[in-house]
Structure 1
């Protein structure tokens, strides 16, 4: 067997494509041995510098040896690999000795360049060949790969600004054709070819990031040159079409497609790819918005990106702990091995600010979910559950267009929705959920998706993170009141009293802020006097349908099971500071076990608070103040009879 064939079979495993992680090597004594001041550049003509001074040019064969070492920093390059690269067809008998001479001369060259100590011994012998001990960050190709990878990760995470900066930095390391002044054989030619392909991919990803940032005018000229230089590269042609369309130059964008198609048919006998064709179809439909195709982050397609979140509010106040908890879930980077979507439940009594919090955090997380943000209210105006089939139909029409009519069955619509979400990063906000059964079919399957659910009820069967809201503390309640009323200096006992009358509920505080601004002459003492009347407090806090706490409490009350609905007003007569289960059972004329079931239902709906302090009488239950006033209103309306025993 020819000895050169043996070498060819052994070498590919020993000279892999350059690694993406920085590597460090240690000497035989465990001490790091690397030439930290030695810098080697391969992204252009081969160049070595020490201490900022360029080393003297080496003869051609020595450049080949240095290049093989530089593309494998801190990895052993077998001697056979050097021989194969230096003498690919007929290595001399003295090949090993000649190689050793080249390595010796390289060491001298580095030493003459000023290296001392370990730096002078940067090229070391290590079986079965030789190793260049150098800080990987000092090899421009290694630095390129690390920076480009970070840029790709930022792009995958939806951070186009960071991605553009990092990818541009990686591309800035290039000075021309890799190893332009080195005579390349099998291994170096393969390496430089892969480098060139990587550069084109990185360049396309950087352009994709710039397109996401609407920098259409900045990339048009660059893309025109790239399409001329690479006439068969459909990624660049597609991106040029998107850039032109983004500038309102639709006819020019379509002309790019016609020219590309003509070239491909004439030269290769091929039609443009489906991705490029979809760009053309989108432009013909005059679609707007840019979506990055999952799995191909370097190709951008024109397609409307769902952005259904309601507007955030300008006066969002407090909730720092709850915001941080939600953000840590929905803004976390994708974790290795995770296969389930991230799910968070925001729950609390009516008017406590569940929807406001969910929407606020969802807006903060938008950049993490570039494939879209979907929103659906899951309850009708009269409090009934919205059919899940209707919600899915709305989602599917938004993310479409779908071919043909939508499937009729819930299962088919759920499968279609999850198929669309599977490889995308989508944020779904499901507001005012009625039950777990309503939510489950609306959960995406993709591990890079997230869902924020709000509900008046606790939903224990919904796996995920739960954020339970209570009223705002007094200082924060006054702060929100002052912001709504546009009185930055609002303070004092009257303001504290108003916050107390509102029980810290943001909905009631907003209504009070409006009343303070338009009906109380900006004088908090006047509003405090009006709200001090318990009997009419809820009615006086009603300023608009969307700020009507009574209506929301009535809706919750109507949705209770009949026996719980009947018991709810009666319990409003009990001690405002709390009552026992036995006391509740007596007033409802039921046994304590039944009373506990009724109270548990009210607790799940956040109409009753419970304190589990130890005591012989068991836990104590209490109506939140505004809930208690609503219960008393129901009694005073004459609908219910009190059985006090």
Structure 2
């Protein structure tokens, strides 16, 4: 839907894309052919007289019939009737020497586009580059494809081409402005796609070269020039223009004039248009695969002529390398999907496959939607996901799918996106999917891989034995890698002896399926050749849940406190029993099992290691996660504040890992999100209820700060089952209290009150001061929302008393921040200010950085109430910078709205409009429709004062509809009252 504005009951006309009419009752279909051509011509010349001769020349390029003028009259008459029957008020009046189509303000997208371009030019002249970018981007967003696409009339195509040129010029304008604002990193993906689509436009290529250069990618910048020069010479026989040639020379010479400008510090600078996730697993350096299959998949995924989302389902037996091939293909086509790549392991072969709703929650977070805005239901998540993906070029990789029902909700609806699925089953129920099968390696590929691992010379010396070995493993890549790694570790073994050993092991396992038998035979040979410590580690490590594991887990399962526990894993890596997945910035490796290897490890473990030893190993791993999560929370809050802990075992990993955590605790939390959730589930299933609830409530530091509300709920529900089953009263209360906070984040006040009240009763019985404080703090917030200020103050006072007993100073600062809103409502501005300054001193004293924006924003609000508007403007501007630095998009929306409000109070309506527009864009970007509606109501009076009464009324009407649709009666009535006031003000102006 375009951004054309209209009043209820008005009609909208669109030509920036296929021709469309939206009437009062919905879309209006106009007969293709002459009626569409005449309508398109009249719309392009709206409010101007179009002569009959001009219409004739447009309809009949050469030799019009003698009845041409009569046919034009009939066509116009039928068009009038068609529109009138649909309730479309579109006067087509007869004016000598032809016809005139009369359009109102903001009803044709072409006019809105031109108006936005004119506003952007004014903003540029005023030095407001950030606002100009926003205006230009909103203008470009009106386009739904080439102008009048679908109409082949030569005369109209010529006119449409001029408008298409305006679109590209506007795009180039905002990209150059983005460069001036220092946003080169954000635009590289977008401009790369545009250069690919418009390879002859030198201005676009210059933007790409400069953006790459400023991002430190000089080689790619020069390659972009060379590619463009080759195209120009080959296609047109021309050298690049002077601008590109000079830019190339400047890059080669390192000209300082190309250095990036200082980023704009304007308070109204918008955040990037949207997130561009890059979630693909790493590609394999020595990849070997079926090139025909890969090209087939690439053609479906990256083909430019498809009309629906491209879907490839890649099937194959265990060990055939489906995941490796999928990752390789994903990287090969990644440049065709500049808006990002989403990836998820659907765990289809596990006991509990990933639920579609949970996967959508993860994808929506990755696409920039904050947790509190993500809907709870599957259908609503699907709708939001497909809406977000509709305008993006994104690749989705779904690994290890089990059923069609798991995949279908995850399919985007746009032909600009593509989906690659791997599965052991033929998912024939996925509509439009191209099924491709990952075959085992042929003899040539197998020998190639074998030679890469053990050496080509060794293979050639025993070529006949190498061929026999390949035949024995059946060409399965996983089995071949394991056997090859074993040979590489034993250079004195002959390939012939390995063939004999493997054949004997296969005979022992001949009751198994062929593929499984081959892999297990390979694993058994390697396992039997390891020393006892490595075999024990191999088995115990299989107990650790999670997609990949840090090296300290090896020390935990063996209870080895050596400084470099990852050294224990190297023997397993050397023989391909364990994969290295990534290398962290600290230089530490991450490890994971192939699914079948892990199953094999657990089988060996159960057969060889006593149950009590296995249980102690699990407890130590859980203790390691708990110790590190505790360290992360302390680093965020400045100590063990605002959280409850239990008595579970802590196993502290080496100092190198602790230092990683404390260096950037929230980044560590985010990187270990999946492992923490798996550890909580494992603790619940293994009966470690104390560790389970403690780890769950400690991980809330991550869940709340990053909006992982699904993980918050899922982990707590599992932990709650564990504590209730174990009769763990305090753990149950801690989880209920935390769930109460979760429900508050989701706006579920009834559920929040129920959970908090139950937890409070238990903490009262236990006389647990910190538990009491956390419950009373949140119950005070609920009382405040309900308008019970007396009740809120009483709860806050009791909470601060409990926090003082618990010596929880950060908790006290948080309650002081909450309390000031009630004090302000009662006119106690000085007391509120004093309490906020106390809170800020607490936060600064312990280093609780996350508390500062909240407290400072409250100070700004107090300053507004006290009439200190200039001070408030300064405070809000400072906090806006803080929330943008932390990428808090919800906080950004709040601060922009605050800045708009205070600017309006100062009489700076131009600034107020800019801030409100930015706030509205921020809310719309995260699809917070209610928040956006509230900002429309705030913006409307400002626009009215600036002489834009029509647009102001439209904004409020839109907001009232949103409130009405969601049953928000109080807000709807307030919006309609605002609309009435706007109407009265407009009438007074006319009088």
Per the normalisation by structure 2, the TM-score is: 0.29
Q: Which has the higher helix share?
A: 2
Which has more radius of gyration? 1
